[in-house]
Structure 1
Amino acid sequence: MRKKLLMIMLAGVLTSFAFVGCSDDEAEEKEAKTEQAADEEEETEEADEEGGDESGEVDTDAIIGSWMTGAYMKDGESYNPEEYAELNDIEDYNQLVFVYTFNEDGTVAAQAAATGEVANGTWEVSGEQIIASFENGSQVPFEYNAENDMMGVEDASTGVITLFARYQGQ
């Protein structure tokens, strides 16, 4: 149930970021479509709970590419990186922005926007999670939402969820 709620909220958050700057009519239309998509996702997940995907595995081809920090969720509220930085007295919001690139050969690179530093590692699918393991021994357990083509990871110590959207570069 928690995962289902997370994915519905994830869909709404990232969709709202995609439509910043739209006129009111367009925004209302997009919001209605987002709500419809969330309803359809809920129905799909309910059907999956009844019959479900037998493997429960994430399609590895869907993960290939780059993913950039799009939002942070804390206590049920969503914030873009700039808002979240302000909320936490961080001067440069780029300190909160990361780009993860998942390659076909099973390697992953995580780049910090503020410094340009890159951490390299490998990734693998484990059930419904994508586990990125880095050379320093750290692991990041992403959850992928195929319906909305988004990824998220929850910080177990704070409960903050970082949401990632597909990134095409500049």
Structure 2
Amino acid sequence: MHRSVFLRADAAWMRFSLKFDAALFAVVAAVMWLADGWLGPFDVWNFLIVGGGILASTVLRFVEPFAWRRLTLHRTTYYVTNRRVVCVPGRGERSTELSDIEVLTFLEEADGSGHVRLDRRHTPDGFMNAVVAELIHVPNVREVVALLSELTGQTPEQR
């Protein structure tokens, strides 16, 4: 079974994140350049400290979802009941009521596995939102989508 921590949908999030951080870095550099003219010379260390802080936050924000998936993917279990979808990644649990499912889209890999999106958010996994936003690496994705479609009355959309 395909067990990569990266999903096809992550590419759009990665591109946005890199563009956002490049723009942020450009704004900070412009502000520092203007402040240099108004307040007197900044030394290179100030610029490196601010730039390093931006770089560190970028790396943490960029790596965190994938590190979290890597640490929890092998022990995550999904349950679908007649009332909710539950995700148990080790110790805790997250759940989403079937009535709260906004959208039912899925992506199927060549081996029949795939992932199911239940939420319109752009976060990779919904972990910080304490809800189940997607089911990752489902072995038989069409079976799960058919069950969710029957329970919610929504028509699934393949991406």
TM-score by length of 2: 0.32
Higher Rg of the two aligned structures = 2
Structure with more strand by fraction: 1
Structure with more helix by fraction: 2
TM-score by length of 1: 0.30
